[in-house]
Amino acid sequence: MNWIRKNIFGLGLLAPSIIILFVVSIFPMIYTFYISFFNYYLPRPNRAYFIGFENYIEILKDGMFWLAMKNTAIFMISSIGLQFIFGLGLAILFYDEFRGRSAKAFYLPLILLPMMVAPVVVGYVFRLLYLTEWGPLNYLLGFVGLGPYSWTASASTSLLSLVIADVWQWTPFVTLVLLTGILSISSELFEAADLDGANLWQKVRYIILPLITRVIAVVVLIRMLDSLRELDKVYILTQGGPGTSTTLVTFWSYLNGFKYFKVGYAAAMSIILLIVTVILATGMAKVLHKEEK
Amino acid sequence: MKKLLITFLLTVFCFAGIANAKPEPRPTFDGVTVTAALHSGPFVNAWGPHVKRIKELYGINLELVGIPVNELYDKSILELSMGTGAYDIVQYNPGWVGDYIDFMRPLDDYMDRWDPGWMDIHEGFREWENTYGGQRVSLTMDGDVMIFYYNKNMFEDPKEMADFKSTYGYDLAPPANYDQVLDIQKHFQRDTDGDGTIDQAGYSDPIIKRGRGQYPYLMRLFAYQKEAGITPNYFDPDTMEPLINTPEGVKALQNYVDTVANGVPGMLQWEWSEAHTCFMTGKCASLIHWPDEGLMTAAFTANTGSAMGFADVPSKANMTCGGWVAGVTADSANPEAAYMVLDYILGPDVSTHVALYPGGGTDLFRQSHFDSAVVKMIAPQEYLDAFDSAIGDIVGELRIPGGFEYYDSLDIQVQKALAGEISAQEALDQAAENWKKITKSLGADKQKEMYAKAMGY
């Protein structure tokens, strides 16, 4: 009591943030957890009833859920992998440029541009690019004798189409973060490497990668969490199809919650996703912690 | 004798009273606001010009809220289930009625007092689209049904006819069944400009892409069921056992898969607009589609140099593949005013203008529309006859709770088969399993009862 009286001013300042956090984040999470134990069909809200862990058991037995998880894993690994490779390449390419102020002013907006576009807009732009008959991508590929490909209309290329759109949008972010990491490395190390006659690969292998491991871990973690909640591009580009080839776990959860209105089931799926996210984040945090030691 | 005479006179009097009964005059509602949630674009556009007149006649401020078609179901259900009272009128697909019914107001009382031209609604739509459990709950606002369109130049070309006959052993003509649809698809599939890419198809389904891709399958299912002498059905009405993975169902899906595979590249992602464009530009020799094309014969001829042909869909197994009705919500603060809006816009007089509004998305749905001199001036009689005949062959939508989920879970499996991920049998077995799960989760007995109500058993 005494402590509260003593810190009343500080608590007063914190109160708005705590209230907002509770209303928009903590309460919904608790409520989501609560309704995940109910058979709750939104068009019949008065007929919801408690079913214990049945939603969780159903989800774990649901073939579509596991397929969606598999698709998400493929999407996540390929998308982040490509973003990392291209991002690192571009960061190294821009390393010298960014040490000059004028060049930085020129390149930075160019790099940031795709990130500033809303994911929904990216979806619409790529939908046009991917058109089988009239799409610019197939038109350009035609000049080198390739295609036309049914980018989003074929189960074999649809997930790749999503990956390409995602890589286009988020490689700049990865580039920027990695570039910041590389710029923080003392230039003396590179000069010493030059004196020793090290080539580019050797500099990357023995200087850059070991010294920016923590930055890599952070950027990979952020992109992993983003990929886990990827919805916009799937919704606009493929609607999860053809077949189920691009049904990611968030889209499956969205369908259950907002199209089938199985609110309890969707809530249970969100909780499972939350657990997966926490496991991933903890794993990455351990990597960071290990590095610190 | 005296008693008999009195009874007779009373009876005559009563019937004379009914015959002479005049409808109640329409009331006015000065300053009342009615909000209608409509499919954005076409329907909002077609209703828009009548807002001013409704204000003049009834004093009602009509506000039109446009919602994108693929969000109409979820947005309106969210508002209705939360009881926000945001909408007085909602537009919905008759197939969704199982989920809407608890939130809609029965309209019998209003309709008895102010007849919206009930009997003039085409009998193919009137009862099954608008009544539920014996009560009238909505009014038809769009006469969706499927028509088989074909390019007469392509179908009547002597060389094409001879080639077709020599390959398939029968005359090239509008198909009597879906096996013939596949033959037509294969016959006309070709690379017309020699660039190594197939650019012409014999046929397109109305919509194939994930979202509503189950409809072409269901039309085929009902066609094959009819051919086998089975009454078209989604479930066995006695057991609620799904009928989608029966031999007829598997044949239907295999035909759908083969037809798409023998089309043009990218067909798997076709929405209604791509199918429409393919036919209207002469790249598809035939098409099953909603009735819109029949009012565009001049554009078709200008594009292709051919006349447009019309016929019944194969096996005369038709569906609305959507369709739209509108009802008054139970939580509307002004239900009478809301009804007046429906009565005005969807009534016999004004609805003809709405149906003919360019790009308004409304197809003819009243008998008076088919008899209208203006309609006859615009539309070929051959089209009107095909349209009229098609309405009589409609198998109703799956109007039970969870209707949307049943359709969507079927679509997922159909899409998997179309994409070649699994076989037709595997896809339908999985879909049937999912249907059983949905039925179980919503209560099997309740669903059985609702299905019987919806299908009129």
pLDDT at site A33? 96
Q: Is A180 exposed, middle or buried (0-12, 13-18, 19+ CB in 10 A)?
A: middle
Residues of A with CB under 8 A from a CB of B: 39, 41-45, 63-64, 131-133, 148, 150, 152-155, 238-245, 247, 255, 258-262
Say yes or no: ipTM exceeds 0.85: no
Residue B446 distance to chain A (closest CA, Å): 13
Inter-residue contact B58 to B28 (CB < 8 Å): yes
Running DSSP on this structure, what letter comes out for residue B358?
T
How far is Cα A218 from Cα B370, in angstroms, rounded to an integer? 67
What value, to the nearest 5°, has the Cα angle with vertex B243 and ends B241 and B248?
155
Interface test with B, best of A38, A49, A132, A158 (most B CBs within 10 A): A132
Residue A242 and residue B408: Cβ atoms within 8 Å?
A: no
Residue A39 distance to chain B (closest CA, Å): 8
Residue numbers in B near A244 (CB within 8 A): 412, 415-416, 421
Residue B124 distance to chain A (closest CA, Å): 28
Residue B430 and residue A133: Cβ atoms within 8 Å?
A: no
Run of H or E residues at B374: helix B373-378
CATH value of A62-292 in 2.60.40.10, 3.40.50.2300, 3.40.50.9100, 1.10.3720.10: 1.10.3720.10
Residue numbers in B near A240 (CB within 8 A): 210, 412
pLDDT at site A104? 67
Nearest to B408 among A43, A133, A260 (CB): A260
Nearest to B405 among A238, A243, A260 (CB): A260
Question: B237 is written with which tokens?
Answer: 């009405």
Interface test with A, best of B69, B269, B408 (most A CBs within 10 A): B269
Inter-residue contact A208 to A186 (CB < 8 Å): no
Residue B77 and residue A42: Cβ atoms within 8 Å?
A: yes
In angstroms, the Cα distances linking A131 to A125, A245, B202, B319 are: 10, 18, 21, 30
Residue B376 identity (one-letter amino acid)? K
Nearest of B376, B388, B188, B383 to residue B297 by alpha carbon: B383
Residue B211 and residue A258: Cβ atoms within 8 Å?
A: no
In angstroms, the Cα distances linking B38 to A92, A161, A167, B325 are: 54, 33, 37, 10
How far is Cα A75 from Cα A196, in angstroms, rounded to an integer? 41
How far is Cα B335 from Cα B35, in angstroms, rounded to an integer? 11
List all residues 6 or more positions away from B87 whose beta carbon is below 8 Å from its beta carbon.
Answer: B35, B36, B37, B65, B76, B79, B80, B329, B332
Residue A241 and residue B197: Cβ atoms within 8 Å?
A: no
Residue numbers in B near A45 (CB within 8 A): 81
At B66 the three-state DSSP class reads strand
Sequential pLDDT tens for chain B (457 residues): 444 444 444 344 333 333 444 567 888 899 999 999 999 999 999 999 999 999 999 999 999 999 998 889 989 999 999 889 999 999 999 989 989 999 999 999 999 999 999 999 999 999 989 999 889 999 999 999 999 999 999 999 999 999 999 999 999 999 999 999 999 999 999 999 888 889 999 999 999 988 889 999 999 999 999 999 999 999 999 999 999 999 999 999 999 999 999 999 889 888 888 999 999 999 999 999 999 899 899 999 999 999 999 999 999 999 999 889 999 999 999 999 999 999 999 999 899 999 988 877 889 999 999 999 999 988 899 999 999 999 999 999 999 998 889 999 999 999 999 988 899 999 999 999 999 999 998 899 999 998 988 877 6
Domain ranges of chain B: 33-143+321-390, 147-316
Q: Does domain B33-143+321-390 have CATH number 3.40.190.10?
A: yes
Q: Helix %, strand %, coil % for chain B, to 5? A: 55, 10, 35
Per DSSP, the residues of B239-299 read T--B-TTSHHHHHHHHHHHHHHHTS-TTGGG--HHHHHHHHHTTSBSEEEE-GGGGG-HHH
pLDDT at site A153? 82
pLDDT at site A89? 92
Residue A242 and residue B210: Cβ atoms within 8 Å?
A: yes
**pTM, two decimal places:** 0.82
Nearest to B77 among A43, A238, A239 (CB): A43
Same fold for the pair B33-143+321-390 and B147-316 = yes
Domain ranges of chain A: 62-292
Nearest to B74 among A41, A239, A258 (CB): A258
Sequential pLDDT tens for chain A (293 residues): 688 888 889 999 999 999 999 999 999 999 999 999 999 988 888 888 999 999 999 999 998 999 999 999 999 999 999 999 999 998 988 877 666 666 666 777 777 889 889 989 999 999 999 988 788 998 999 888 887 888 888 888 999 999 999 999 999 999 999 999 998 999 899 899 989 999 989 999 999 999 999 899 999 999 999 999 899 999 999 888 888 899 999 999 999 998 889 999 999 999 999 999 999 889 888 877 776 66
pLDDT at site A291? 65
* Beta-bridge mates of residue B91: B326
Nearest CA in chain A to B406: A260
Residue A44 and residue B416: Cβ atoms within 8 Å?
A: no
Nearest to A255 among B402, B408, B415 (CB): B408
Residue B421 and residue A63: Cβ atoms within 8 Å?
A: no
Residue B278 distance to chain A (closest CA, Å): 11
Residue numbers in B near A128 (CB within 8 A): none
Residue B192 distance to chain A (closest CA, Å): 14
Q: Does domain B147-316 have CATH number 3.40.190.10?
A: yes
Residue B419 and residue A155: Cβ atoms within 8 Å?
A: yes
